[in-house]
C-alpha cells in the first residue's frame, strides 16, 4: 500500500543552526525557510535526491512540535512520511485492521497542499507515521 518515502521530519530548536549543519557540514541542498502558520511550524526542506528531510521549528504558541521539543531539547526525529495513492482507502484499511489515526480520523491538508493523516506511534513501534496522498504514487 505505501509507496515512496516522501520525507523524514526532524524537529529542531534552532532552524538556522540546523540548516547550516545540513548545508555546510553535510553539503546538502537546502531550501529557504517557509513559515506555515496553519501547521504551527517553519520548515526547511533538505533535498537528498531520492527523498527529503524536513527540518521543523515551532512557530506560534501551540505548535504541534512544542511538546516534543520540551521532551527532546536538542531536537530529534519526529515522523516519517510515506506516499499512498488513495488516502481514504488507506484509512479504511488501517482502521479496519485496528490501527489508530490521530485526531478525528479524517485526512487533513498537509504542508505540501495534499491530504495527509498521522498514525498512532504506539501502533507502529514507537514511530509517528504520516501518510500523504500523492496521486502518481
Per-position x/- string for 8-27, each x denoting binding to Co ion as judged by CB under 5 A, each - no binding: -x------------------
CB of 49 to Co ion, least distance (A): 18
Per-position x/- string for 43-72, each x denoting binding to Co ion as judged by CB under 5 A, each - no binding: ------------------------------
- Site for Co ion (CB under 5 A): which residue of 57, 83, 130, 133? 130
> Is 130 an annotated catalytic residue?
yes
Q: Which of 75, 78, 14, 76 is nearest to 44 (CA)?
A: 14
Show the cell assigned to 70.
Answer: 520540551
Nearer to Co ion, 15 or 81 (CB): 81
Catalytic residue, from 54, 83, 130, 132: name it: 130
CB of 116 to Co ion, least distance (A): 7
Q: Which residues carry out catalysis?
A: 130
Amino acid at each position: 500500500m505505501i509507496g515512496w518515502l516522501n520525507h523524514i521530519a526532524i524537529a529542531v530548536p534552532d532552524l538556522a543552526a540546523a540548516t547550516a549543519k545540513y548545508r555546510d557540514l553535510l553539503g546538502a541542498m537546502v531550501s529557504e525557510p517557509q513559515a506555515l502558520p496553519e501547521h504551527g511550524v517553519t520548515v526547511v526542506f533538505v533535498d537528498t535526491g531520492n527523498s527529503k528531510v524536513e527540518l521543523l521549528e515551532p512557530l506560534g504558541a501551540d505548535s504541534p512540535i512544542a511538546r516534543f521539543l520540551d521532551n527532546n531539547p536538542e531536537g530529534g526525529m519526529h515522523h516519517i512520511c510515506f506516499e499512498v495513492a488513495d488516502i481514504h482507502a488507506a484509512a479504511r484499511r488501517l482502521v479496519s485492521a485496528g490501527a489508530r489515526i490521530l485526531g478525528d480520523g479524517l485526512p487533513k491538508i498537509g504542508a505540501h497542499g495534499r491530504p495527509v493523516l498521522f498514525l498512532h506511534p504506539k501502533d507502529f513501534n514507537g514511530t509517528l507515521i504520516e501518510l500523504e496522498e500523492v496521486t502518481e504514487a
